Chain A
Amino acid sequence: MNIPWLTALMVLPLVGSIITLALPRSRPQVVKAWALIVALATLGLTIAMALEFQADATAPFQFTESYPWIPAFGISYSVGVDGIGLVLVALATVLVPVVILAGWNDVDDQATKGYFALLLVLEALMVGVFSATDVFLFYVFFEVMLVPVYFLIGRYGGAGRTRAAVKFLLYSLVGGLLMLAALIGLYVVSAQQLGQGTFDFLALVGLDIDPNMQKVLFLGFFIAFAIKAPLWPFHTWLPDAAKESTPATAILLIGVLDKVGTFGMIRYLLPIFPAASDFYAPLVIALAVIGILYGALVALGQTDMKRLFAYSSMSHFGFIALGIFVFTLQGGSGSTVYMLAHGLSTAAVFITAGYLMQRNGGSSLISDYGGVNKVAPVLAGFFLFAAMSSLALPGLASFVGEFLVLVGTFIRYWWVAAIATIGIVITAAYALRLYQKVATGPTAPSLEGLPDLTAREKLPLAVVVVLTLAIGFFPGPVLEVVNPAVERTLEVVGVPAPDIPQAAPSGGEAP
């Protein structure tokens, strides 16, 4: 593989955003169009790359590149993706054009340039964070991503944006710095074992770290990831951030960035700290299950749409983390599919919510809505679809993920799965409660004559809907890519999966 796919995927949007800054401030349409073109080009490149990907390859990573960066500390610019990374890179590059199109009028013309430039920078960084195979490089992306998001929230968000932005940044920095400490600790350990310290992922996986040391370092990483992919009780930054940021930011933040947390768990925590992962698994599972129910219940009590979505995401992240830490193939693959699905459903909910808010003076208070279905049936229809996809209706992507996670959990701890399954009832309750209050009943006076969706507005939603259904009914391609990566991870963890009786040859095979 001599084409530097991943680097190209980073350089393209980066250059694009620099050019964006050069464009005239007076011509916002040009800026938007350009941003969209760049994003689409990146997406095309991703698709081309994905087609090159060999699901059955023996090498852990594909499209690898590696150049020494800071040899003094064994740090190198090394990128490459396995199935999990590929899926998430794809998610990122799909959602960016979607949100650009959906957020066409999110900000006023003055701010347009900076806004779209930041979105493109963010895209580059997202690709980087999911494709880094050098832990230091990963950390760099992990931290640097904070900056554009911080500006996206703090500069273009709603009334309380400043506070939300600072809260987001400090929360993330708490995790980030703890992770830095653990990272350095890991380096020191590697230096002791290999003579020359290294940050190369595979080399670190190869280390044989003393279990107690593992337990310490694990925490440093885990807290960082638990804050990113908000697990209970590290989540309180999310509702504020979600409420104050523009839909586009919220989608990229919750839909993609926060996946770095769960991605980090399955990519780094499990293979590098197998013993510690096994040791802490009960704790993490407990947090995850609490998160599932707690998030859903709190969502049920929200009066603000975006906060509701934030808590529902928290609940979904609970499922993802659960699937990762039960150490079963179904759980791991399920979590990965769920990451993808949750990205899409997040996009759906926030895009529709954004359209609603644009039409109703930017209010995200549920009580300000009602009877949308009567005036804007298409919008309401998409809104219902979003609700369905977040309650994981069978046939949609999120169902595949959620059910696999639950099966994977059931295999190991049936009772945990039983508790978690209660979540699907509460989820239905809050999702439909929201739809009922917003879309049904008598139309709210402020919404009379509300315009329905334009073609430009429908397009991004259509993309999301199609993808959600496609993955729901044809998850095969995704699973083929993901399964080997998860298998490899679980082999390293080495916790044997409880044995399932092999299916008896089904009577129905044709003679």
Chain B
Amino acid sequence: MIGTGAAMLSDSAPVLQPLAPASGVFAYLWVLLALPLFGAAVLLLGGRRTNRWGPYLGCLTVITAAAYAIALLVSMMALPADERAIGQSLYSWVAVGSFQAEFALQLDQLSMVFVLLITIVGSLIHVYSLGYMEHDVDRRKFFGYLNLFIAAMLLLVLADNYLLLYVGWEGVGLASYLLIGFWQFKPSAAAAAKKAFVMNRIGDVGLSLAIMLIFVTFGTVAFDSVFAQAGQASETTLTWIGLLLLLAACGKSAQFPLQAWLLDAMEGPTPVSALIHAATMVTAGVYLIVRSGAIFDGTAVALTVVAIVGVITMFLGAIIGSAKDDIKKALAGSTMSQIGYMIIAAGLGPIGYVFAIFHLLTHGVFKANLFLGAGSVIHGMDGQQDMRRYGALRTAMVVTWLTFMCGYLAIIGIPPFSGFFSKDDIIHAAFEKNWIIGVCGVLAAGITGFYMTRMIIMTFFGKARWEDDVHPHESKPVMTIPLIILGIGSLFTGAALVYWGDIVGWLEPVTGLQEEPLAIPTIALEGITLTVVLIGVAIAIAKYRSTVPVEPPPGNLLTVAARNSLYDDAINDALVVQPTYALSRGFVTVDDRVIDGTVEGSASLVGGVSRRLRLVQTGFARSYALLMVAGAILVAVVLVVVRLS
């Protein structure tokens, strides 16, 4: 597909829609940010006195935001398609010479869907957390952090320039850091939090360099004017920008090679994993790429790399997901894999952008569903996360089971569940662009079928392998109701977005879309994909129908590798961490011995000279006289020398 870039450029450059001034209901766009921010401020600064009602305030702010978001959606749909992009400039933020970054919000169709995802799923997870975190002493803080996250995430998707996006970008990073390490007294949690932040920082290097390059190239960092000029820039420049943005995306979205932090991030409370590490934050990378579509359109190379990264991660995640016994880690693996799909879609160019977002939305729903289900299970199993200790839970927790099944069917893509529509579109688009990617997509779908089925069987079917004093029970309504809603969501989102919401048409003004005659009939492709998935399911059933050993069996080389997350930690350690610390130790020594040593050394040298020199002062008057004579001669000699020269 390399080389087709130029061609794509011609017919697929997204129609740039002018930003309409924020009026009417949009005039209060900033409130969307202010609400959760206010919640966070009150909860975090308020201290203990807010302990009692704090959590409810936390939910309230987000729910209100969600309501407002829906209001926005409604009034946006009322507008004609090319006037749906709203801009609201609050004030000039960083202005130095030609570098001008406004604190300005932009709400267009793309941001809109994200706002909805964030606020609605966010609300559900907040409510769910009321139950899940009921007995935690620091409940208030938890909701404070969640609100902080929502605010930052909204800023990320509402920013109208890259610098402001960067603020949201690191803001969600901070929130994620705080929430992964929420149980800080657990060293593993603290370590995981740090790991997540630092690895994200590597991505941030990409983002900040990208911003600088964008500024130097276009003289601005505001989306609209950057995209307006994207055409003028040379392909090399655009490629560089694209690759830097991809680096950023890899960090945030746990894509290869920066994927290692996501599995550790499961140290955080399950609602966090659901909201941040499944539904919203980790998909920010996809948002970044799609948002910068205008830039990627100009660089086939970058797009190819994006697609390749997606493919690699898709398989990595799937393989890891297939071997993990910890239910959350298995789900995390699947998240990586699913985001891999989205990145692939984004890597396909305009044809894929829409499907990337589409899959992002459905995935946001059903993965949240799955995680909350897992959370409900863990809750019922007194914190046990090892699936080998589960089994036969379908009787014990019916609601959880049923909703979980919705999520399951959605993710493996059984029609009419939502995953079917979105994933299928991606695979389809892939075949349009490059059949290899398409095949990969199909295979990964098969693996998805495998590991999800494995999870279902190990958790809900077969014999009970519970530890003795565990008495699984269904969770409270406060937790199950969100589950039910999300379950229904998993069922309908896809269909709704396609048939009723016309997601494609909705996003087209932002992403642009290139209609091409389909080479292969859709129905055939869907058939193939389904069969592959079912094969995966079958294998899983075959493998796990019989009893599941409580102790993991030795397993083959691949399994062992997968259990160790394909040794990503070991590799990072060997390639980056250890060398860095070695360098650090080396420099510390250099600093003490060489640099400071030189300083101290010169001082002691003078001291030594001094101690020698004072011995000349023998105390004998005659030696003094001798020196005087010598001095006299010296003086005379110097005088003569000067006189002769």
Contacts and interface: CB of A to CB of B under 8 A. Distances in A.
In the complex, A touching B, CB below 8 Å? yes
Interface of A: 170-171, 233, 235-236, 294, 297-298, 300-302, 329-330, 333-334, 371, 373-374, 378, 388, 393-395, 400, 403-404, 406-407, 410-411, 414, 417-418, 421-422, 424-426, 428-429, 432-433, 436, 439-443, 473-476, 479, 483, 487, 500-508, 510
Contacts, number: 185
Interface stretch (B202-210, B422-430, B549-557): B202-210
B94 A301 contact: no
A394 B103 CA distance: 13
A157 to B, nearest CB: 18
Which residue among A424, A440, A502 has the maximum number of chain B CB atoms within 10 Å of its CB? A440
A226 to B, nearest CB: 13
A507 B224 contact: yes
A504 B96 contact: no
Which residue among B184, B217, B222 has the maximum number of chain A CB atoms within 10 Å of its CB? B184
A504 B222 CA distance: 10
A388 B220 CA distance: 27
A425 B205 contact: yes
B440 interface: no
A407 B99 contact: yes
A422 B205 contact: yes
B591 A236 contact: yes
Contacts of A421: 205, 208-209
Contacts of A407: 99, 211-212, 215
B170 A442 contact: no
Given A407-B215, A504-B228, A508-B18, A433 B194 contact: yes
Contact of B583 (A297, A373, A400): A297
B208 A476 contact: no
B473 interface: no
Contact of A440 (B190, B229, B580): B190
Which residue among B16, B47, B97 has the maximum number of chain A CB atoms within 10 Å of its CB? B97
Nearest to B576: A425
Nearest to A298: B587
A302 B213 contact: no
A504 B201 contact: no
Contacts of A425: 198, 201-202, 205
Contacts of A432: 177, 193-194, 197-198
Nearest to B592: A236
B185 A301 contact: no
Contacts of A442: 185, 187
Nearest to B215: A407
Contacts of B67: none
B100 to A, nearest CB: 7
Which residue among A395, A443, A475 has the maximum number of chain B CB atoms within 10 Å of its CB? A395
B190 A424 contact: no
B94 A479 contact: yes
A330 B99 contact: yes
B163 A476 contact: no
A410 B94 contact: no
A145 B170 CA distance: 40
8 contacts: A301-B581, A301-B585, A330-B99, A425-B205, A432-B194, A473-B93, A504-B218, A508-B106
Contact of A414 (B19, B198, B216): B216
A393 B588 CA distance: 26
Contact of A329 (B96, B186, B191, B584): B96
Contacts of A487: 97
A400 B95 CA distance: 10
B91 interface: yes
B148 to A, nearest CB: 11
Interface in B84-134: 85, 87, 91-100, 103, 106
B8 interface: no
Interface string B1-24: 000000000000000111111000
B512 interface: no
B496 to A, nearest CB: 31
Contacts of B18: 507-508
Contacts of B595: 233, 235-236
B215 A395 contact: no
A68 B99 CA distance: 43
A373 B100 CA distance: 40
B599 interface: yes
B174 interface: yes
Given A395-B171, A417-B209, A411 B219 contact: no
B596 interface: yes
B526 interface: no
Contacts of A500: 98, 215-216, 219
B212 A406 contact: yes
Given A330-B97, A440-B185, A441-B187, A424 B208 contact: yes
Contact of B220 (A424, A475, A506): A506
B95 A373 contact: no
Contacts of B596: 236
Interface string B327-359: 000000000000000000000000000000000
Given A428-B201, A440-B190, A441-B185, A506 B224 contact: yes
Given A432-B197, A474-B91, A507-B19, 7 more contacts: A407-B215, A410-B215, A441-B187, A501-B229, A506-B220, A508-B85, A508-B160
A414 to B, nearest CB: 7
A403 B216 contact: no
B21 A510 contact: yes
Given A298-B591, A300-B581, A501 B198 contact: no
B181 interface: yes
A487 to B, nearest CB: 8
Given A404-B96, A506-B220, A302 B588 contact: yes
B599 A236 contact: yes
B587 A301 contact: yes
Contacts of A483: 96-97
B166 interface: yes
Interface in B225-255: 225, 228-229
B93 A475 contact: yes
A373 B580 CA distance: 28
A371 B213 CA distance: 42
Nearest to B225: A506
A302 B229 CA distance: 48
Nearest to B103: A473
Contact of B216 (A302, A371, A410): A410
B533 to A, nearest CB: 40
A410 B184 contact: no
A394 B171 contact: yes
Contact of B225 (A171, A507, A510): A507
A196 B184 CA distance: 69
Contacts of A440: 181, 184-185, 187, 189-190
A13 B326 CA distance: 64
